[in-house]
Chains A and B, each alone.
Chain A
Amino acid sequence: MTTLTNTRLPQDEQQAAFFTNIPWGNVMLWIVLFLLVFITLFPFYWVVRTALSDPNSVYAHADELLPHDPTAFNFQRVLGMIDPTTLVGQDTSRLSAGTLNFWIYLRNSFIVSGLVTFGQTLFSSMAAYAFARMNFPFKDQIFFFFLTGLMVPGIVLFIPNFVLIRQLGWIGTFQGVVAPAFLMSPFAIFFMRQFFLSLNRDLEEAAKLDGSTVLGVFWRVALPLTIGPLLTLALLTFVASWNDYLWPFLVGRDEEIRVLTVALSVFRSQTPQGGPDWAGLMAGTVVSIVPTILIFVFFGRRIVDSIQFSGFK
């Protein structure tokens, strides 16, 4: 503004004023921001680029930014759409020897994550509601007891849990993979309790006066009113379960119940010595993260908001 109206200023002085008017601090911040976004997103691009490349050219054309000889061949392989017998006679030295029953692994991941999400969300909400609204002996002591579970490192529990699942004969079964997370998580109870506590009691009292039982109040009043946080919790539980590795790796390595994370690490260990099948591996990676990406696209904002909440537990 000043530089335009103040026409009497000499040219170079006008220019100097123009430059000092630029918020250089903000420009710097924008540049840093751009760099950070680039660092965050580039690896994702590189996965897709590699997955779309011809498997035999991945090594020779490592420096090309676009997929070399773009092909859907890797995705077809990973998804079992290519009959292995058709590959006989072709150069397959770059292809993984690992079996690629990705549909089965995808199904297994959905079964495990689905069961864990359903059980953990339901039972944790019930407990959370009891802690928030009901009166029974030792309520606060039991709640505190549950909270101590947040502090124990996973490995302390993994070993005895592995022993227990083994004694039950559940190694290599879905119930073995799902059991430890099915009935509760301390965080889920804590999370839902906060929301039940913040509900307006009047609605619940009104329902009670209208003849609703406590069960009815929980099911028809409290749960519908906390549907937002409930959905958020379910999403976070689903993603955490989907991403879980060590426990399913210990308990569920068998092919029929193997989940995607375990399958990918097995697939990698089966790739040709010295020259992993990167194109196939990256196609498998893309397939595995599709459900997470979908959840992220539809519910990303909800997840971000819930993280901000959980920061203040």
Chain B
Amino acid sequence: MAVKVKNSSSEISFLGRLANSEIALGFLFILPAFIGFTVFYAVPAIRSIGISFTEWNLLSDAEYVGLRNYQDIFEDDRFWRALQITVTYVLWNIPLQTVLAVLIAVIMDKVNNSSVLRGIIILPWLMPNVIVALLFIWILDPTLGIVNVFLEAIGLESQGFFGVPDQAIATVAGVNIWRHMGYTSILIYAGLKTIPKSLYEAATVDGANGWVQFLRITLPLLRPVLVFVVVTSVIGSFQIFDTIAVATDGGPSGSTRTIIFYIYQEVFERRFNMGTATAASVVLFLILVTVTVIQTRYLQAGRSDLADYS
């Protein structure tokens, strides 16, 4: 009896010591996340680079081929076209989306900032890409879509949208602007709120009108937020896939085969070309790093003009 009590009390004190030893507990607390990060982020990232130097179709053993996969994709016209289509998409998507988002944020700041309004404009962002794509295939249907019915009713020509090569990628961009402009405007609105009201009051006293105030106060002071928004949107925009997979399947005639769709096809439609697919994904990663560095350097992300006013 006495032995038993002694035993359990020493167990308690051992557990108690473990529970209070910060080093052991710290490692215990990060252990699940550490396993998750190692297995599903760190190792795959390195493995991706490894696979990109091999020829491998999942069935036979991987064979080291050096830089040949990179050579192959750089000689593949489809790859360059995919890159060009992706850049075209980003150029349709980002400028328009950012301008609209700033417009919405300024409107919320000026006339109405109710939580109902913010709720409504965030709604599309909460929808799955798949559903957004389905919705717009129907709305933009070449013959029966309500948009074309409307265009014809007011005497305009109906458009092919997803169905014709020279409109498809712009249409995909439009759909994603619809999904993201509200979300982006919420981010920018939060940035607007950090601009001191006294600056506008002083400008009004000096006789500057609303437009001048917007150009001279709002935009410059919004720069850190704008840079953040543009950089993250560009990174996301380069990785467009879901909408295209559902709405156009890369077509018509390859006009929406973006870089991720190209990689997807290398794996799942061209007999598991794991080597070229991972090589292309590594190239995409390097492009994204370069674009991000250029954007943050050029736009001076870290520096706020607010310092100039104080």
Identify the A interface with B (CB < 8 A): 25-26, 29-30, 32-33, 36-37, 39-41, 43-44, 46-47, 50, 58-59, 62-63, 123-124, 126-127, 129-131, 134-137, 139, 142, 145-146, 149, 151-157, 159-164, 166, 179-180, 182-184, 186, 189, 213-216, 218, 239, 242-246, 249-250, 260-262, 264-265, 268, 276, 278, 281-282, 285, 288-289, 292, 295-296, 300-301, 303-304, 307-308, 311-312
* Residues of B105-129 whose CB lies within 8 A of A: 106-107, 110-112, 115, 117-124, 126-129
Q: Are A152 and B245 in contact (CB under 8 A)?
A: no
Q: Which residues of A lie under 8 Å from residue B229 when comparing CB positions?
A: 311
Shortest beta-carbon distance from A26 to chain B in Å: 6
CA distance A127 to B268 in the complex (A): 36
CA distance A154 to B264 in the complex (A): 12
Q: Which residues of A lie under 8 Å from residue B210 when comparing CB positions?
A: 25
Shortest beta-carbon distance from B240 to chain A in Å: 11
Query: Which residue of B26, B110, B129 has the most chain A CB atoms within 10 A of its CB atom?
Result: B26
Q: Mark B111-152, 1 if CB is under 8 A from A, else 0.
A: 110010111111110111111001111110001111001000
Q: Mark B247-291, 1 if CB is under 8 A from A, else 0.
A: 000000000000010011001100000100110011011001100
Given pairs A183-B33, A301-B119, 10 additional interface contacts (CB within 8 A): A29-B106, A40-B121, A47-B138, A130-B25, A130-B26, A157-B41, A160-B51, A215-B25, A261-B130, A268-B137
Shortest beta-carbon distance from A222 to chain B in Å: 11
Answer yes or no: B220 CB below 8 A from chain A CBs.
no
Q: Are B242 and A245 in contact (CB under 8 A)?
A: yes
Q: Which residues of A lie under 8 Å from residue B161 when comparing CB positions?
A: none
Looking across the interface, which residue of chain B has its beta carbon closest to that of A124? B33
Shortest beta-carbon distance from B214 to chain A in Å: 11
Q: Which residues of A lie under 8 Å from residue B281 when comparing CB positions?
A: 153, 155-156, 159
Identify the B interface with A (CB < 8 A): 16, 19-20, 22-23, 25-27, 29-30, 32-37, 39-45, 47-48, 51, 58, 100, 103-104, 106-107, 110-112, 115, 117-124, 126-131, 134-139, 143-146, 149, 153, 178, 181-183, 186-187, 189-191, 210, 225, 228-229, 235, 238-239, 241-242, 245-246, 260, 263-264, 267-268, 274, 277-278, 281-282, 284-285, 288-289, 292
